[in-house]
Amino acid sequence: MGDDAAEAAQIGKHYDERSPIGDEFRDGQLHMWYWYDREDRVSLANAVARITRKVTDTLGLRPEESVLDAGCGPGTTAISMAERFGARVTGITVSRFEVERAIARAGASTVGDLVDFEYGDFMDLEYPDGSFDAVLALESLQNAPDLTQVLAELYRVLRPGGRISMSDFSLEQAGPPERLARFMETLRLSRLPSLTEWIGHLRAAGFDVEEYTQCGPRVLGRKAKYIEAALVRRQEIADKFGEAALNEFAEQHHGFFAPRRNQVGYVILSARKPYR
């Protein structure tokens, strides 16, 4: 196995272990949530769906456009792009569990003919140049071993004028480095760029950056809302997966809330491959 394939297999194992319970808690969206304030009472699945909508809305998708969902998780995000916009979506992930779950989810949806899921490494894509109108990287670039390489691949498979939207964590305010290190280790982040650095990475890959947002205070800043909402479903999930598995899941996420308030942000960026 080459270095890239070995790295992809390790990341896949990380998600194979965490995705089943994460999938249940977040309805197939393995990403962050968004709560407006303490009085905001929406469920965890709905708070997570807000991020799905916010990020995918920035792609400006039209019916029949082709989208690569690079690091697709267990499928709900790709299915929602097909349902909401009539787009044709190809989802890839390095987690075998997620591929299976996404295929089953698509089969139970009304848009099974618009979505496809397969095992694939976004560091080395098999698609020809210019294959897609749009690319989504929703909280997946964080796991790329080399940002320059993955962004070059995503740029290559987009048509001229095609769009990319991404969301991810960002380094915001200074704070205890050991807390940041625990957070990064828990999530297997190999780097934590600031918003300015994320913009710089996209520009260095050749993209024109068109939109960006930092909404960390409503994302990681709402950890109390997450705990409140997760507790609502705790017993139901313990009954399904077992106490031991749920405790292990909680243990695996130990460092997630380690950073100080506003130490880590959450950014959404949208960019375009220039027209010829």
What is the contact surface with ligand SAM in residues (CB under 6 A)?
8, 11, 15, 29-31, 71-73, 77, 92-95, 98, 120-123, 138-140, 143
Q: How far is the CB of 157 from ligand SAM (least distance, A)?
A: 13
Q: How far is the CB of 80 from ligand SAM (least distance, A)?
A: 10
CB nearer to ligand SAM: give 29 or 58.
29
CB nearer to ligand SAM: give 114 or 141.
141
CB nearer to ligand SAM: give 43 or 235.
43
CB nearer to ligand SAM: give 138 or 276.
138
Q: How far is the CB of 274 from ligand SAM (least distance, A)?
A: 25
Distance from C-alpha of 134 to C-alpha of 136, rounded to nearest angstrom: 7
CB nearer to ligand SAM: give 69 or 172.
69
Distance from C-alpha of 159 to C-alpha of 274, rounded to nearest angstrom: 9
In order, the DSSP letters of the chain are --HHHHHHHHHHHHHHHHHHHHHHHHTT--S----SSTT----HHHHHHHHHHHHHHTT---TT-EEEEES-TTSHHHHHHHHHH--EEEEEES-HHHHHHHHHHHHTSS-TTTEEEEE--TTS--SPTT-EEEEEEES-GGG-S-HHHHHHHHHHHEEEEEEEEEEEEEE-S---HHHHHHHHHHHT-S----HHHHHHHHHHTTPEEEEEEE-GGGTGGGHHHHHHHHHHHHHHHHHHH-HHHHHHHHHHTGGGG-SPTTTEEEEEEEEEPPP-
Q: How far is the CB of 211 from ligand SAM (least distance, A)?
A: 19
Q: How far is the CB of 131 from ligand SAM (least distance, A)?
A: 16
CB nearer to ligand SAM: give 121 or 172.
121
Q: How far is the CB of 139 from ligand SAM (least distance, A)?
A: 4
